[in-house]
């Protein structure tokens, strides 16, 4: 139970727009402020939708919703921020809920996270960064053909995040008659990138940041996600999902037991040397295509290995990291898989473009709504990677390892990254943390990274999900107790619990205990 830092309750009459003076933000002009009391709000926020927490059943929640609309004069943007404040259960803390995909925060999962946070006693808040409810950037990326809307991109990348923190602190102070004792940020994926941006660029905004599976190197990894598609175009072959799924299953079978436990999880992908070409020709089930059976093709094996290796230049040097062998390349649970084809019943398959990555290259790098990214040569692909990094790294990437200001103000960062992430390669998180350690060898005193074997992007897969990561961060901030491990529990059968280890330590099985319980594992 989180102790309350606020004694009392707030009257319903306090939730009136007339009671809130407009905040002051340099460079911003407020357009409106609305306040309404929400009563008996209920929602089942499932595990994974309240980032860095477990699931929460919200029942009969009463809160004041203050919505502010503002613009940065001359930039033609309209940004919305919502602050949800529980009427009589406030714990004295603020929690910002981050974004996902192309959305900055006020999306379906984000609003669920805000509701869950409010139900737990936090005043919660989020921003749409001026992007409204758009899931993709199609409607806002270009002001005209050839001209990127850099103002809105900057809002998404950084500006709106600090604005929202200033606004929420001011609104909370007015509503409760006292400032929040602690202000926290929680996000994964896009939200993880936002969290690191806050630590790097706005070190005074938050006391603690949970920034998981972060899209740190946005300019590189988004283009790298197109690598399997580029290869299939070059080969002129588009294998069906069943072939890629069979290769992934074979890799898991070959490497699963290397850690001493057979659980469909590859705990240390670096030890897995499975060669996809070794099962070319093996006949597999492929329902709905031809006879329902087909041999694994050389093309499928080649594309799979290249996806694991990551994109390469013509001289075979690495452009970016690949995904690990147990990542589900064709998974479409939340969006298109990184390897995606559509097949007719006669076995003819065509390529599906990976929408988020295709949008980045088409709209922001090529600056055209009509540009094609199909049939690129290796040289053209290398050029696109270079352009993306050259034009946008300083705007939206969050790879600055200098966190000295955030450390000096007493801030704490905690993050996890699933080793079976099928969207953002965990190698990017490792690279960033290594760079932070190189600059500050004692960075573990304020920043810890935990890798989660078998976990997919943010959550999902057979691996254990760290639903305690936010609370571990809060404990570190408020009581100075650094997490030696973070407890995690799987969300699918069979249920397993595991301790996640702070990098560079790794999770090890003791070889004798029950492999489904955390007590049988240690960090080394």
Could you give the 3-state DSSP secondary structure of residue 293?
Answer: strand
Contact criterion met (CB below 8 Å) for 293 and 286: yes
Torsion of the alpha carbons at 302, 307, 313 and 319, rounded to the nearest 10: -170
14, 256, 322, 323, 460 from 259: Cα distances, Å: 58, 7, 22, 19, 21
Mean pLDDT of 239-257: 96
Rounded distance between C-alpha atoms, residue 452 and residue 265, angstroms: 10
Mean pLDDT of 186-207: 97
The torsion angles phi and psi of 424, rounded to 5 degrees, stand at -110, 115
- pLDDT over threshold 60, residue 4: no
E-strand stretches of 201-356: 208-212, 283-285, 293-295, 341-343, 349-351
Tell me if residue 283 falls in helix, strand or coil. Answer: strand
Cβ burial of 412 (10 Å; 0-12, 13-18, 19+) is buried
Task: Lowest mean pLDDT of 40-49, 76-85, 177-186, 268-277, name the range.
Answer: 40-49
Mean pLDDT of 165-188: 97
C-alpha distances out from residue 150 to 124, 237, 243, 326, Å: 28, 37, 41, 37
Q: Is the peptide bond before 404 cis (omega within 30 degrees of 0)?
A: no
Predicted confidence at residue 327, as pLDDT, reads 96
Using a 10 angstrom Cβ sphere, with 0-12 exposed, 13-18 middle and 19 or more buried, the burial of residue 147 is exposed
Q: Which of 74-88, 136-150, 332-346, 423-437 has the lowest mean pLDDT?
A: 332-346
pLDDT tens per residue, range 129-156: 999 999 999 999 999 999 999 999 999 9
pLDDT the model gives residue 522:
95
Q: What is the mean pLDDT of residues 292-321?
A: 95
In this predicted structure, what is the pLDDT of residue 1?
42
H-state helical runs in 225-354? 227-235, 241-255, 298-309
Strands 507-509 vs 464-465: parallel, antiparallel or unpaired: unpaired
C-alpha distances (whole Å) from 490 to each of 11, 45, 112, 140, 468 are 41, 17, 21, 38, 12
Q: What are the residues facing 63 on neighbouring strands?
A: 38, 86
Higher-pLDDT residue of 413, 6? 413
Percent over 70 (pLDDT), the chain: 98
Would you state the pLDDT for residue 334? 57
Instruction: pLDDT band for 18, please (50, 70, 90 cuts).
Output: very high
Amino acid 110: pLDDT: 78
Contact between 302 and 308 under an 8 Å Cβ cutoff? The reply is: no
Helical H runs in 257-377?
298-309, 355-359
Domains of the chain and CATH, by start: 12-217+398-479 (3.40.50.1820), 222-393 (no CATH)
- If you average pLDDT over every residue of the chain, what do you get? 94
SS3 521: strand
Backbone angles phi and psi of 344, in degrees to 5: -80, 165
Band of the pLDDT at 235, cuts 50, 70, 90? very high
Q: Could you report the per-residue pLDDT of 38-88, keeping only the tens digit for each?
A: 999 999 998 888 999 999 999 999 999 999 999 999 999 999 999 999 998
What is d(CA 518, CA 524) in angstroms, rounded to the nearest whole number? Answer: 15
As annotated, the active-site residues are 189, 421, 457
Render pLDDT for 89-108 as a digit per residue (tens, 0 to 9): 999 999 999 999 999 988 87
- What beta strand segments (E) does 352-490 contain? 412-418, 447-452, 464-465, 486-490
| Residue that is written with structure tokens 């801030």 in the block | 411
Which burial class, exposed, middle or buried, applies to 284 when counting CB atoms under 10 A from its CB (0-12, 13-18, 19+)?
A: middle
How many Cβ atoms sit within 10 Å of the Cβ of residue 89? 16
Residues 250-266, mean pLDDT to the nearest whole number? 96
Nearest CA among 327, 253, 241, 254 for reference residue 284? 241
Place of tokens 């955390």: 518
Cα separations in angstroms, 158 against 91, 166, 196: 28, 13, 10
Pairing of strands 79-86, 123-127: antiparallel
The closest alpha carbon to 71, from 15, 17, 152, belongs to 152
pLDDT in tens, 350-408: 998 888 889 999 999 999 998 888 999 999 999 999 999 999 999 999 999 999 999 99
Which of 198, 137, 180 has the alpha carbon at shortest distance from 364? 137
Q: 56-60, 222-226, 440-444: which has the highest mean pLDDT?
A: 440-444
Contacts for 500 with CB less than 8 Å, ≥ 6 apart: 416, 450, 451, 452, 464, 466, 485, 486, 487, 488, 507
pLDDT of residue 80: 98
Average pLDDT value for residue range 5-29:
87
DSSP state of 259: G
Give the CA radius of gyration of the chain: 23
SS3 387: helix
pLDDT of residue 333: 65
């Amino acid at each position: 139970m989180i102790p309350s830092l606020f004694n009392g309750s707030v009257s319903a009459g306090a939730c009136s727009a007339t009671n809130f003076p407009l905040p002051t933000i340099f460079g911003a002009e407020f357009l409106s402020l609305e306040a309404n009391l929400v009563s008996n709000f209920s929602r089942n926020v499932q595990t994974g939708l309240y980032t860095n927490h477990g699931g929460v059943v919200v029942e009969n929640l009463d809160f004041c919703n203050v919505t502010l609309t503002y613009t940065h004069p001359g930039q033609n943007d309209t940004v919305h921020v919502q602050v949800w404040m529980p009427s009589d259960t406030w714990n004295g803390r603020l929690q910002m809920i981050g974004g996902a995909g192309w959305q900055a925060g006020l999306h379906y999962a984000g609003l669920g996270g805000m509701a869950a946070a409010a139900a737990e006693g936090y005043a919660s808040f989020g921003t749409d960064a001026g992007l409204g409810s758009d899931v993709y950037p199609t409607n806002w990326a270009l002001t005209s053909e050839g001209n990127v809307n850099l103002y809105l991109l900057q809002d998404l990348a950084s500006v709106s995040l600090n604005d929202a923190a200033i606004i929420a602190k001011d609104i909370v102070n007015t509503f409760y008659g006292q400032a929040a004792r602690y202000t926290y940020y929680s996000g994964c994926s896009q939200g993880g990138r936002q969290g690191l941006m806050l630590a790097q660029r706005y070190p005074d905004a938050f006391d603690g940041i949970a920034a998981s599976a972060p899209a740190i190197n946005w300019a590189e990894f988004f283009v790298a996600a197109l690598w399997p598609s580029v290869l299939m175009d070059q080969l002129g072959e588009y294998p069906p999902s069943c072939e890629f799924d069979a290769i992934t299953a074979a890799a898991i079978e070959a490497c699963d037991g290397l850690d001493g436990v057979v659980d469909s999880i590859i705990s240390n992908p670096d030890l897995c040397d499975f060669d996809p070409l070794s099962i070319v020709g093996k006949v597999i089930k492929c329902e709905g295509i031809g006879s329902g059976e087909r041999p694994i093709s050389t093309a499928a094996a080649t594309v799979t290995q290249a996806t694991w290796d990551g994109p390469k230049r013509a001289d075979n040097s690495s452009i970016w990291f690949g995904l690990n062998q147990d990542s589900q390349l064709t998974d479409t649970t939340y969006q298109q898989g990184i390897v995606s084809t559509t097949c007719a019943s006669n076995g003819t398959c065509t390529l599906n473009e990976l929408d988020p990555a295709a949008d980045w290259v088409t709209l922001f790098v090529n600056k055209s709504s009509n540009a094609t990214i199909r049939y690129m040569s290796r040289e053209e692909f290398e050029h696109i990677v270079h352009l993306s990094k050259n034009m946008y790294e300083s705007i939206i990437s969050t790879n600055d390892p200098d966190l000295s200001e955030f450390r000096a103000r007493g801030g704490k960062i905690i993050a996890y990254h699933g080793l079976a992430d099928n969207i953002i390669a965990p190698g990017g998180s490792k690279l960033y943390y290594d760079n932070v350690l190189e600059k500050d060898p004692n960075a573990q005193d304020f920043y810890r990274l935990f890798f989660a074997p078998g976990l997919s992007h943010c959550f999902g897969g057979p691996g254990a999900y760290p639903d305690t990561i936010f609370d571990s961060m809060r404990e570190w901030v408020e009581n100075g107790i650094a997490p030696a491990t973070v407890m995690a529990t799987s969300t699918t059968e069979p249920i397993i619990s595991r301790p996640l280890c702070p990098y560079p330590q790794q999770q090890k099985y003791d070889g004798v205990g029950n492999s489904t319980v955390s007590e049988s594992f240690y960090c080394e």
